[in-house]
Amino acid sequence: MTTAGHRRALGQHFLRDAGIARRIVEIVGLTPRDLCVEVGPGEGALTFLLAERAGRLLALEVDEKLVEGLCARLASLAHVEVRLADARRFDYSTLPALRPSPEGRVVIVGNLPYSVSKPILERLVAARTAVSEMVLTLQKEVAERVAAGPGSKRYGALSVLTQLYCDARLALAIPPGAFRPPPKVDSAVLHLRVLAAPRVPVGDEERFHRLVKAAFSQRRKTLANALAGGLGVSVATARQWLAAAGIDPGRRAETLSLEEFSRLNSFGPLNPDGKMRRFE
């Protein structure tokens, strides 16, 4: 597959607007102490601007031809490295050791391909202990889902499981004309700051994730019915569980705050071994 074909298959669009590129770099606020990791540098619209500010820059690109071109253009910059790597599989735990200063941050910057933005985002959040901040260009709808609050139609499992670990805000809207080829949808820059600890107590994190995903698995249903279907318990058990946590079983998942999900998890019908128990 050609470079252009490979990019179309991933849903990748190259940033071409120099003014927007500068604004994105300003959001990042890099210093000489920081390691910047650019995910999907493409043709380098951000790369050279990031290299001017970061103490060290590591660019991860999945397309071999683009890697070759970037390596040739960046060869004179000793603090810049371009690697052929898939951001969905990269080991982010290695990054803190690459910082030019122990006091520096690890900052992820990326124009994520639309078709794989969610798995990349989930992997980055999972690697949060190695990362300080993320500035990610995404399809606007996805960025809005991440930053949405309770009561919003966009609010879902992605919102809860990102905001559990990060402060999230929409930093910049980007029109289709800023890219080549222009996408059919609007884009936005999402700014994530990793928290020192989860926003609310969750206990077993895997169990909490399972609960949240089950709650949103059937959005049109009440919490009692969604949890029953998603976790394999009876509706009666789900109702008892919700009542014990002080949550109306007739509510829907998109109305619950992080604090309520935390409380629900602490009352949940899950034994420490992960198996279901029933309320007596």
DSSP state of 216: T
Residue 9 has pLDDT above 60, yes or no: no
Residue among 154, 256, 165 nearest 214 (CA): 256
Would you state the pLDDT for residue 267? 81
Q: What is the residue extent of each domain of the chain? A: 3-194, 205-267
User: What residues are paired with 192 via a beta bridge?
Assistant: 134, 168
| Per-residue pLDDT at 266 | 87
Q: What is the mean pLDDT of the chain?
A: 92
Give pLDDT tens digits for 114-145: 899 999 999 999 999 999 999 999 999 999 99
- Counting residues of the chain whose pLDDT is more than 90, the rounded percentage is 84
pLDDT tops 80 at residue 249:
yes
Q: What is the pLDDT of residues 44-89, one digit of tens each?
A: 999 999 999 999 999 999 999 999 999 999 999 999 999 999 999 9
Pairing type for strands 106-111 and 133-139 reads parallel
Task: Give the helix/strand (H/E) hosting 159.
Answer: helix 157-163
pLDDT score for 44: 96
| Residue among 228, 223, 240 at smallest CA distance from 280 | 240
Distances (CA, A) of 20 to 25, 174, 193: 9, 8, 21
Helix (H) or strand (E) holding 194: strand 187-194
Among candidates 99, 96, 69, 93, which has minimal Cα distance to 82? 69
State mean pLDDT over 16-43: 97
CA distance 250 to 157: 19
pLDDT tens digits for range 31-47: 999 999 999 999 999 99
CATH number of 205-267: 1.10.8.100
- Inform me whether the pLDDT recorded for 271 exceeds 80: no
List, in sequence order, every residue forming a beta bridge with 111; answer none if it has no partner. Answer: 137
- Residue 183 DSSP class: P
Res. 269 pLDDT band, cuts 50 70 90:
low
Residues 162-177 have pLDDT tens digits of: 999 999 999 999 999 9
Q: How confident is the model at residue 2 (pLDDT cuts 50, 70, 90)?
A: very low
Domain topology for 3-194: Rossmann fold (3.40.50)
Residue 94 has pLDDT above 90, yes or no: yes
Classify burial at 2, counting beta carbons within 10 Å of its beta carbon; exposed 0-12, middle 13-18, buried 19 or more. Answer: exposed
pLDDT band at 268 (very low <50, low <70, confident <90, very high): low
Give, in order, the Cα–Cα distances in Å from 184 to each of 75, 180, 231, 247, 250: 35, 11, 37, 41, 38
